[in-house]
Amino acid sequence: MLSRNGLDYESLVKKDRVHISLYTNPAIFTEEMDKIFHRGWVYVGHRGEIPNPGDFRLKRIGRQPVIMVRDQQREVHLLLNRCRHRGATVCQREQGNTRSFRCMYHGWTYLLNGDLSGVPSMDGYGEGFKREELGLVKVPRVAEHRGFIFASLSPAGIALDEHLGRAKEEIDLFAGLSNPEEVEVVSGIHKYSYQGNWKLAAENSMDGYHPSIVHASFAQALMDKITHVPTPEQQQVDRNFAAFRGNARDLGNGHVMLDYRMRIYDPLNGDPAPEVKAVTPEGEARLNNLVQRFGADKTANMLREGGTHTFIFPNLILIGIQMRVLQPVSVDRTEVSLYPTLLKWLTPEVNAIRLRSHEAFFGSASFGGPDDSEIFERIQDGCAVELEPWQLMSRGLQRERHEDGMIVGDLSDETTQRGIWRQWKKVMMQGEVAARSVRKRGGGAVAIKRG
């Protein structure tokens, strides 16, 4: 069974390896944009980025420019950023606050809900001109979970609830069970880009095998900095991230996670940290709920440093206190945006610690982010080698187990990478499966059907 590109994804994505052309072939990238990013659910942004009426931010769904905006009634809209007259983008500022969007070519003006409100020299148009039909196009499907806004450019498909499945609980823990308006996302954005395929960052974000090697300097810096006297066991954990107790889990639908919540000791916690307290009754209730489930110490760590470590297919990564969004640009170019989050019901001291722990490892001048980007570019370069063109992803395959309906591996196993690729192959072959059944039913030759 071949894809529209004449490629057989079944032979390129195997159980224990993937072919390097999946990172380098521009035709595959185009098909990914169409099938994964334009038709499936993708993460767009969070309500906390646009807290006030009139606030907007520019986003992209796959390659298509979108405005995420909150109107005067506090409703959030996703509007395709393309004037209905002759097609110029109507907004170029990355973020801001406005009453309307005015296209700078001929001055057509749109309200925050996308309606076309003004057309200069209207008398030039005949009676058939219907202003009410010429608003900015709205993204066909928009849905949210705890203020995380997802969208699909396809009018039909599975519900967001079904797509997220077990990942919903991880979003809940990342948000400290906060309601959609209690998450603050206005502390700035870390941005970087790298010369490599977008899937390299997805795989790496859930790779529990690499930290003790790639981030060895960070581990050493921690050892130098901590002021307490660690036990021998703690020293071992500090030096070797792989010694963290935890596991790798495939949550289904391409969502995967590393569960560090099982760890016995928190190496980032060498210095005294502020007590975790709530400043609102609602916050108090959330805190109690978490303490009952995870105990006081783990809850405090989760709120100071992040409640989960999860990849939500295809473009959202929740690590530490950040939402990390992958923006594929071309087959070998990717932009990454890191949005640190604060919780409105925590004390300012705890929120400050959230930001400091984020900056230490993930900022542009930090210990972790730059190390990983360097690896992505080395892999992309290595993909030019055509003999033995495979990347191995077999680690832990023999010891994977099924628990509670999930595939579970050890923390450093490639269970997570395999989970991402399983979903990738499923989505990329969907149209082809449809085509095959059409061919079978019809009995004659039918061109490969898209969709």
Contact positions toward Fe ion, by CB under 5 A?
A: 372
Contacts within 8 Å (CB) and 24+ apart, 83-90: 83/108, 83/136, 84/108, 84/116, 84/134, 84/135, 84/136, 84/137, 85/134, 89/65, 90/136
Structure tokens belonging to residue 54: 């009139």
Return the range that interacts with ligand FES (CB under 6 A); candidates 83-91, 146-154, 230-238, 264-272.
Answer: 83-91
Q: Is 125 in the site for ligand FES (CB under 6 A)?
A: no
Binding test (CB under 6 A) with ligand FES, winner from 2, 8, 75, 105: 105
Structure tokens belonging to residue 236: 């071992």
Residue 55 or 372: the one with the smaller Cβ distance to Fe ion is 372
Distance (Å) of CA 170 to CA 174, 261, 408 = 6, 11, 16
Q: Is 36 in the site for ligand FES (CB under 6 A)?
A: no
Q: How far is the CB of 129 from ligand FES (least distance, A)?
A: 14
Contact 49, 41 (CB under 8 A): no
Q: How far is the CB of 64 from ligand FES (least distance, A)?
A: 17
**Please, which residues have CB within 8 angstroms of residue 130's CB and are 6 or more apart in sequence?**
none
Q: Is 103 in the site for ligand FES (CB under 6 A)?
A: yes
Residue 372 or 432: the one with the smaller Cβ distance to Fe ion is 372
Residue by residue, DSSP assigns 145-176 as ETTEEEEESSSSS--HHHHHTTHHHHHHHHTT
State the number of binding residues for ligand FES (CB under 6 A): 10
Binding partner selected for residue 103 from Fe ion, ligand FES, none, CB under the kind-specific 5 to 8 Å limit: ligand FES
Distance (Å) of CA 160 to CA 143, 168, 313 = 6, 10, 12
Return the range that interacts with ligand FES (CB under 6 A); candidates 85-93, 134-142, 223-231, 360-368.
Answer: 85-93
Q: How far is the CB of 130 from ligand FES (least distance, A)?
A: 16
Residue 148 or 361: the one with the smaller Cβ distance to Fe ion is 361
Binding partner selected for residue 88 from Fe ion, ligand FES, none, CB under the kind-specific 5 to 8 Å limit: ligand FES
Residue 105 or 129: the one with the smaller Cβ distance to ligand FES is 105
Binding partner selected for residue 344 from Fe ion, ligand FES, none, CB under the kind-specific 5 to 8 Å limit: none
Binding partner selected for residue 139 from ligand FES, Fe ion, none, CB under the kind-specific 5 to 8 Å limit: none
Residue 38 — φ and ψ, nearest 5°? Answer: -95, -25
Return the range that interacts with ligand FES (CB under 6 A); candidates 41-49, 105-113, 258-266, 335-343.
Answer: 105-113
Task: Give bridge partners of residue 183 from the DSSP assignment.
Answer: 343
Q: Is 106 in the site for ligand FES (CB under 6 A)?
A: yes
Q: How far is the CB of 211 from Fe ion (least distance, A)?
A: 6
Contact 240, 212 (CB under 8 A): yes
Q: How far is the CB of 83 from ligand FES (least distance, A)?
A: 3
Structure tokens belonging to residue 309: 């470590």
Binding partner selected for residue 372 from ligand FES, Fe ion, none, CB under the kind-specific 5 to 8 Å limit: Fe ion
Q: How far is the CB of 118 from ligand FES (least distance, A)?
A: 10
Residue 121 or 398: the one with the smaller Cβ distance to ligand FES is 121
Distance CA(80)–CA(91), nearest Å, equals 10
Q: Is 83 in the site for ligand FES (CB under 6 A)?
A: yes
Q: Is 116 in the site for ligand FES (CB under 6 A)?
A: no
Q: How far is the CB of 370 from ligand FES (least distance, A)?
A: 41
Return the range that interacts with ligand FES (CB under 6 A); candidates 50-58, 86-94, 151-159, 237-245.
Answer: 86-94
Residue by residue, DSSP assigns 104-141 as TTT--EEETTS-EEE-TTGGGS-TT--GGG-SPPBPSE
Distance CA(417)–CA(16), nearest Å, equals 10
Residue 91 or 185: the one with the smaller Cβ distance to ligand FES is 91
Distance CA(451)–CA(448), nearest Å, equals 10
Rg (CA), the chain: 24
Residue 30 or 89: the one with the smaller Cβ distance to ligand FES is 89
- CA 45 distance to own-chain centroid: 9
DSSP 269: G
Our CA dihedral for 401, 403, 409, 414, rounded to 10 degrees, sits at: 90
Q: How far is the CB of 86 from ligand FES (least distance, A)?
A: 4
Binding test (CB under 6 A) with ligand FES, winner from 88, 143, 189, 214: 88
Contacts with ligand FES, residue ranges (CB under 6 A): 83, 85-88, 103, 105-108
